[in-house]
Amino acid sequence: MSQQPRIPRRAVSSAKAFVAAHGRPTRAVVAPIGRAGARLVLVGDDGAMGDIVVPDVATGEAVIEAAGAQAAEWDRETTAAAKIGPRHRRRMAAPKV
């Protein structure tokens, strides 16, 4: 018998707020990030991106379901849906000091 993951309320409320602000369908991709847990990346209907770090992949999947988002992979449709503007690109490319 497998145990259900404990779903952090803050992660669910953040994901629900993102879905409400950026529209449906909101795609959600969960990927492990080592000891830190898993990264849940949300891509809204308007192309906005957001992320939430959760303890593990199972918790991320539970957050997706609780928030009413659509589980996805980094496939052609998901990457095409993400709109990355110039400000975000500069921030990602900025040297870390």
**pLDDT, tens only, 16-52:** 999 999 999 999 999 999 999 999 999 999 999 999 9
**Residue 2 included in any domain:** no
- What does the pLDDT average to over 63-74? 97
Residue 7 has pLDDT above 80, yes or no: yes
Quote the domain boundaries for residue 25.
9-93
Other CB atoms within 10 Å distance of the CB of residue 91:
9
For residue 97, what pLDDT is reported?
A: 61
Other CB atoms within 10 Å distance of the CB of residue 21:
12
In whole angstroms, what is the distance from residue 86 CA to residue 74 CA? 21
- Counting the structural domains of the chain, the total is 1
For residue 6, what pLDDT is reported?
A: 86
Classify residue 86 by its DSSP letter.
H
81/97: higher pLDDT: 81
**Residue 1 included in any domain:** no
